[in-house]
Amino acid sequence: MKQAQITCIQTKIIKLRKILAAERARFGGFDDSAGRRYTILNLYVSIGDYKGAAGYLRWFFKNFPDDSGFPFFWVEAFITYFYNNKLDQARSMALKAFVANPYVWEVFFMGIATEVEGIKPSSNWEGLDLALQLPYRANQEQHVDFSSWLQECLAEPNMQELKQTYFDLKLKLPITPVGTLRTSLVEQLYGLNI
């Protein structure tokens, strides 16, 4: 990427951050239906500014502590933490990306994925079609560094157990009637953590 392109992206980051700051100053909170809070991390990652991205993630988690994010955001958070040598946080983001879309890492490594029988996406974020749009691949030069570490991370027994728990819960949800048991299953599903 040429320096002029990097400068343009840095200017866009500053502009978007100013818009979010002005929104908070004016309204006392954020109404970010345009998704600026996600775009900023994407821009940092696109120019390889992982230190800036880590600083942004600190701000993001402080200001949006209960944000459910979306799969590509969690992948970019994983990349950011990996390149900042924060491997525990990277591992956590790898799981968040998987929970947000169970096909995302398969697409990252293989370029394709197979739908899991019996599991229906509960949102557009969880579908195979979205995962196939992931702009990152293991064989891209800039991602070769962390691909083998990620593969080992996803194969760890703890991660395998969490992934199996995810699939078990997703299979139970469609056949569980609305009520306290279903609420408990949803809380377990979205509370999966390393």
| Nearest CA among 45, 40, 74, 78 for reference residue 59 | 40
Task: Report pLDDT digits (tens) over 156-186.
Answer: 999 999 999 999 999 999 899 999 999 999 9
pTM, 2 dp: 0.91
Task: Report pLDDT digits (tens) over 43-69.
Answer: 999 999 999 999 999 999 999 998 888
Domain ranges in the chain are 1-67
Please report where in the chains the tokens 């599903």 appear, as a residue.
Answer: 189
